Amino acid sequence: MSQSKIMPMSGFPEWLPGQRAVEQHFLDVIRSTFELHGFAGIETRAVEPVDRLLGKGGDADKEIYGLSRLAAGEDDGTGPDLGLHFDLTVPFARYVLENSGKLTFPFRRYQIQKVWRGERPQDGRFREFIQADIDIVDSGELPFHYEVELPLVIADAFARLPIGPFRIQVNNRRIPEGLYLGLGLSPEQVVPVLRIVDKIDKVGPQTVATMLTEAGLSPEQAATCLALAEINAPDSSFADRVRALGVEHPVLEEGLLALSAVMDAAAEHAPGLLVADLKVARGLDYYTGTVYETQLVGQESYGSICSGGRYDALADDGRNTYPGVGISIGVSRLMAKLMPGLEATRATPTAVLVAVTSEDERRESMRVAAALRARGVACEVAPVAAKFGKQIKFADRRGIPFVWFPDTAGHSVKDIRSGEQVPADASTWTPPADDLRVGIREV
């Protein structure tokens, strides 16, 4: 049997150890920030019934990976019954319904997992990627103040990471929906038009205008839809500009009041954090209220690296409804943009290489390593009892900063970067704080 050539697989990112250390640092900071704000971690299965995934994700419906056995027979049906989840919100809603009797509401959860979408790989877009989500769900009703809280949590996490300036854009889905209805569009046209407008940053307003007229809108209707999408403001003044368009509808007014309340509350707690941007629509069908997108300032063409919104009917079992609001960091997407400018302080977690004097003395080196690990110092024992110079070179190639030398006359440890060597006791010695754990730095 001939061996097939190993080739990279587009859309499925894999990092080298040093890059993975940078990603892990981001994940650790994000996780700890979520926990500081009282979110409990969960993990859901990777698969969901296909019929639950269908109809939840807009264009993602075309990108769901179906799951089937290679040995499945013809009598197993015409298609797969299970699919890999394309986001973490749909499985979370199912999780809430299954466990509602065991959860305390409002329930605050975070979830950091991989998701899969069969879309065309491109800059920052993958087929397998990590998302980090926070959601708050309640039973029956969900107060609007949670819609203000979530972007504050994201801002806290990003402030602890070297990502540079960012902007959280916010809209309310009822604003464009109400405007479209006020223009005379049918309820069935609203979601397709929302999806088209959501592409404005990708294809530009001219192309969107053409797509809208091809979808059945008049040139005047299309122009008003684009005029709405052009409105943005750092405060609630956007509402007057929307009303100046001359379109009236109860759903539109409801959305304007809701978004104004979010903007006013955010201005009190974090001035300048949110920008009302009425072109933000979010293509996923389950959003019903506030929606968020986050862009890196100066790199707006890259698109959103953190998004989400409110959903009122996603978790509904026919008897009880559990409305929620959530926001998701596209970790893999963010890392793809930032990774070229970041590096780990070392590619291995090992802070100390314990040298081996001879194979007969390896047990002594292992005892030293055990004593260091018991005190939280990451270390490993040299693979072979070579000359000390070779063991030092081995540590240098791995990026290990310290080498420990066991000796019957007294142990010592050497910082191989500076050359300084000092006596040391495994029960008390600790490396400097900057060397104890792998860190990251800008390059």
Tell me which DSSP letter residue 385 carries: -
Rounded to whole angstroms, how far apart are CA atoms 254 and 249?
9
Rounded to whole angstroms, how far apart are CA atoms 61 and 30?
29
N-terminal to C-terminal alpha carbon distance within the chain: 46
Question: How far is residue 276 CA from its own chain's centroid?
Answer: 22
Backbone angles phi, psi at 199, to 5 degrees: -90, 5
299-313 CB burial, b ≥16 within 10 A, e <16:
eeebbbbbbbbbbbe
Read off the tokens for 366. 């292992």
Rounded to whole angstroms, how far apart are CA atoms 124 and 136?
27
Q: Identify the CATH assignment for 352-442 out of 3.40.50.800, 3.10.129.10, 3.40.50.300, 1.10.1660.10.
A: 3.40.50.800
Q: Does residue 349 have a cis peptide bond before it, meaning omega lies within 30 degrees of 0?
A: no
For the chain, what is the radius of gyration of the CA atoms?
A: 27
pTM of the full structure: 0.89
Spans of the chain, pLDDT less than 70: 1-3, 56-61, 72-79, 283-284
Rounded to whole angstroms, how far apart are CA atoms 135 and 309?
9
Closest CA to 346 of 438, 443, 441: 438
Predicted local confidence at residue 2, as pLDDT:
56
- Given a contact cutoff of 8 angstroms between Cβ atoms, the answer to whether 22 and 343 are in contact is yes
| CA–CA distances in Å: residue 387 to residues 150, 359, 394, 399, 415 | 57, 12, 11, 19, 17
Domain ranges within the chain, ordered by starting residue: 10-170+282-344, 174-281, 352-442
Residue 275 CB neighbours (<10 A): 20
Predicted local confidence at residue 100, as pLDDT:
95
**Secondary structure of 53-82 in HEC code, one letter for each residue:** HCCCCHHHHHHCCEECCCCCCHHHCCCCCE
- Given a contact cutoff of 8 angstroms between Cβ atoms, the answer to whether 151 and 274 are in contact is yes
Read off the tokens for 275. 């920008």
With a CB cutoff of 8 Å and minimum separation 6, the contacts of 37 are 108, 134, 153, 156
| CA–CA distances in Å: residue 359 to residues 352, 385, 386, 395, 413 | 19, 6, 9, 18, 20
Predicted local confidence at residue 281, as pLDDT:
81
- Given a contact cutoff of 8 angstroms between Cβ atoms, the answer to whether 276 and 259 are in contact is yes
For the four alpha carbons of 136, 140, 143 and 148, in that order, the dihedral sign comes to: positive
Closest CA to 202 of 127, 130, 281: 281
Read off the tokens for 212. 């809208």
Residue range 10-170+282-344, CATH number: 3.30.930.10
Rounded to whole angstroms, how far apart are CA atoms 181 and 219?
16
Predicted local confidence at residue 59, as pLDDT:
61
Long-range contacts of 420-427 (CB under 8 A, 24+ apart): 426/367, 426/368, 426/371, 426/372, 427/371, 427/375
Check for a shared fold between 10-170+282-344 and 352-442.
no
Q: Could you tell me how many residues make up the chain?
A: 443
Residue 64 is which amino acid? I
Which 3 state secondary structure label does DSSP give 267? helix
